[in-house]
């Protein structure tokens, strides 16, 4: 499946037709944001932007798409319009890899309303998923500390979504992936050695290990649990490691894939050390996630390499980030969506977001959302609780939304996954530890400038009458 402009919801196209017939030149501003961090996390890692920009630069309807839409009864004039459809708008965005928080714009689209609607589904689809997975990966990295993290989830991923999961995992702090195609396309290190089937295909495990080590002596990791980890796999691995030493080679590691990983890793470490194989690393896999790895670390399990699959690439247990895309301005007038649920009332107007910095350059723990046109924001207010006000006059700050696409063309050079991952790491280091813990993390404050709050409340009153 190739992504074209038909990679969207049908209602974007039905609405586009109505706009086309009644007000084809409407200019809209939409905000992308989400309402809750996944996993009860204290932050999220924003990911997917580069993919979106790459796709948008070349997005159009294919002739097959246009034939299909004509069959669906869309009129010739409108089909002709779609034939020339391109995204020609502006996008301001947080940097990919930045730590982000709920209920503030992460990305802003300013475009003809037809263009802005047609790209909505693609944007949500890519940003929601990659942000979910980068956040999961970041949490796993937090638990694993300096351990090596391998993504090996493609077989359990949501079909080709796995391609983007591997990318997002690298942004969130994974060192390598088993996914060859993703490694190739995104220039991520790839990793992988053997499965149980390899060993099963031999009459005995020792011969399987020997053949493997002979053909692929570099980065050789032997899988221990096909028959019995401590009785069969480990002794055979030690035999082969010694044979490799005699050839001037070194076994890189052994992998545990079942059983009690804390117990087995300690036993394995001790037995390897007794055999003077202190350099042989221990890799472990089997339904790992941030909590299992945290527990293994707390038990002192001497695991050097963690292979993580299902729980990483599916973003379990949340499985989705509920990011939304809301109209905030139309032809220079502010727009709002009301709801009985306060948190679901949207923030009108084209806006900018400011991040408050401590004197040492670290994040203070507050982002202020203001009208795009404001230039001197001296305080921020809680969105609903009138008693909560933060004086901003003494803070240094950063403006977070930067122009990344102007009139449909990239306004910034492409960034590699490695660059984004490094940037993400540097940003996470500026976030105080209390926001990173798993249990009841500190809540990062999101406030509104006084002017934005007043304007929002005015609009709420207008529609509530």
DSSP β-ladder status, 351-357 and 363-371: antiparallel
Contact indicator for 93, 107 with CB cutoff of 8 Å: yes
DSSP 110: E
Q: Which is nearer to a copy of itself, 226 or 236 (CB)?
A: 226
Q: Which stretch binds a copy of itself (CB under 8 A): 156-164, 362-370, 375-383, 429-437?
A: 156-164
Q: Which is nearer to a copy of itself, 211 or 374 (CB)?
A: 211
Residue 169 interacts with a copy of itself (CB under 8 A): yes or no? no
The residues pairing with 334 across neighbouring beta strands, listed in sequence order, are 329
Q: Judged by CB under 8 A, which of 8, 95, 138, 424 binds a copy of itself?
A: 8
Of 290, 282, 276, nearest to 244 by C-alpha is: 276
Lookup: tokens for 331 = 């032809």
CA distance 353 to 123: 20
The residues pairing with 151 across neighbouring beta strands, listed in sequence order, are 177, 308
CA distance 40 to 416: 29
Kindly give the residue spans of alpha helices, DSSP state H, lying in 275-318.
290-298, 310-313
Residue 326 interacts with a copy of itself (CB under 8 A): yes or no? yes
Residue 267 interacts with a copy of itself (CB under 8 A): yes or no? no
Contact indicator for 415, 309 with CB cutoff of 8 Å: no
Contact indicator for 45, 38 with CB cutoff of 8 Å: no
Q: Which stretch binds a copy of itself (CB under 8 A): 99-107, 261-269, 293-301, 317-325?
A: 317-325
Q: Which stretch binds a copy of itself (CB under 8 A): 97-105, 336-344, 388-396, 449-457?
A: 336-344
Residues 16-35 binding a copy of itself (CB under 8 A) are: 17-19, 21-23, 26, 28, 30
Residues 47-86 binding a copy of itself (CB under 8 A) are: 64-65, 68-69, 72-73
CA distance 299 to 263: 9
CA distance 157 to 314: 6
Q: Judged by CB under 8 A, which of 95, 108, 125, 424 binds a copy of itself?
A: 125
Residue 342 interacts with a copy of itself (CB under 8 A): yes or no? no
Q: Which is nearer to a copy of itself, 65 or 381 (CB)?
A: 65
Instruction: Sketch the per residue contact string, 240 through 259, with a copy of itself: x for CB under 8 A, - otherwise.
Output: ------------------xx
Q: Which is nearer to a copy of itself, 147 or 153 (CB)?
A: 153
Residues 427-446 binding a copy of itself (CB under 8 A) are: none
Contact indicator for 45, 134 with CB cutoff of 8 Å: yes
Residues 184-213 binding a copy of itself (CB under 8 A) are: 184-185, 190-198, 200-201, 211-212
Q: Which is nearer to a copy of itself, 330 or 372 (CB)?
A: 330
Contact indicator for 46, 96 with CB cutoff of 8 Å: yes
Residue 463 interacts with a copy of itself (CB under 8 A): yes or no? yes
């Amino acid at each position: 499946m190739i992504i074209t402009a038909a990679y969207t919801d049908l209602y974007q196209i039905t609405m586009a037709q109505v706009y086309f017939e009644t007000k084809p030149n409407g200019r809209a501003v939409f905000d992308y944001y989400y309402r809750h961090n996944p996993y009860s996390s204290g932050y999220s890692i924003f990911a997917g932007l580069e993919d979106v920009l790459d796709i948008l630069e070349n997005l159009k309807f294919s002739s097959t798409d246009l034939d299909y839409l004509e069959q669906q009864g869309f009129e010739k004039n409108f089909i002709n319009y779609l034939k020339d459809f391109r995204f020609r708008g502006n996008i301001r965005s947080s940097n990919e890899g930045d730590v982000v928080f709920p209920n503030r714009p992460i990305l802003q689209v300013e475009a003809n309303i037809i263009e802005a609607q047609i790209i909505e589904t693609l944007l949500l689809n890519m940003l929601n998923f990659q942000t979910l997975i980068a956040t999961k990966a970041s949490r796993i990295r937090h638990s694993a500390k300096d351990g090596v993290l391998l993504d090996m989830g493609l077989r359990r991923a949501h079909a080709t979504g796995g391609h983007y999961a591997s990318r997002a995992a690298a942004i969130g702090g994974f060192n390598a992936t088993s996914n060859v195609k993703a490694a190739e396309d995104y220039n991520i290190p790839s990793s992988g050695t053997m499965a149980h089937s390899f060993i099963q295909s031999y009459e005995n495990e020792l011969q399987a290990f020997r053949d493997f080590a002979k053909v692929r002596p570099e980065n050789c990791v032997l899988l221990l649990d096909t028959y019995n980890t401590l009785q069969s796999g480990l002794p055979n691995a030690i035999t082969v490691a010694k044979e490799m030493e005699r050839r001037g080679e070194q076994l890189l590691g052994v992998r545990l894939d079942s059983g009690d990983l804390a117990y087995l890793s300690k036993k394995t470490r001790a037995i390897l050390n007794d055999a003077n194989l202190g350099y042989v690393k221990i890799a472990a896999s089997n339904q790992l996630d941030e909590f299992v790895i945290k527990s293994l670390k707390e038990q002192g399990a001497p695991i050097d390499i963690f292979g993580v699959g299902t729980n990483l690439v599916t973003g379990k247990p949340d499985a989705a980030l509920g990011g939304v895309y809301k109209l905030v301005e139309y032809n220079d007038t502010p727009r709002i969506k009301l709801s009985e649920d306060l948190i679901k009332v949207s923030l009108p107007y084209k806006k900018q977001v400011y991040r408050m910095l401590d004197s040492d350059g670290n994040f203070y723990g507050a982002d202020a959302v203001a009208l795009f046109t404001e230039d001197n924001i001296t305080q921020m207010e809680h969105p609903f609780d009138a008693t909560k006000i933060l004086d901003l006059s003494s803070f240094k700050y950063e403006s977070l939304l930067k122009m990344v696409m102007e009139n449909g063309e990239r306004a910034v050079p492409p960034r590699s996954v490695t660059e984004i991952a490094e940037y993400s790491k540097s940003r996470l280091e500026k976030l105080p530890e209390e926001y990173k813990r798993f249990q009841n993390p500190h809540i990062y404050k999101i406030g509104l400038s006084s002017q934005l709050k007043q304007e929002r409340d005015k609009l709420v009153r207008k529609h509530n009458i």
